[in-house]
């Protein structure tokens, strides 16, 4: 199942791949700033949301993003 990590500010896709990676690795990759809008990137597990994307139920696509 593809995993997506999305900037909560501008909704830019920071990571999309079937392989699960640590959000900390993605934050470090972009030097703690969104490459599109420069919003600070952080990870708070209490704000994590996992959902099946609309129209993708049959493919098992999950969207993982912060609210």
Query: Concatenated DSSP letters for the chain?
Result: --EEEE-TTT--EEEEESS---HHHHHHHTTTB-TTT-PBP---GGGEEEEEPTT-GGGT-EEEEE-
Name the domain count of the chain. Answer: 1
Residue 67: its pLDDT value, please? 46
Greater model confidence, 24 or 57: 24
- Show the domain range for 17: 3-66
Residue 20: its pLDDT value, please? 83
Greater model confidence, 56 or 27: 27
């Amino acid at each position: 199942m593809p995993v997506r990590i999305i900037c909560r500010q501008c909704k830019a896709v920071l990571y999309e791949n079937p392989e699960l990676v640590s959000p900390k690795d993605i934050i470090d990759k972009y030097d703690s700033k969104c490459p599109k809008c420069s919003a600070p990137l952080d990870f708070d597990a209490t704000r994590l949301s996992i959902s099946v994307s609309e129209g993708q139920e049959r493919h098992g696509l999950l969207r993982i993003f912060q609210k």
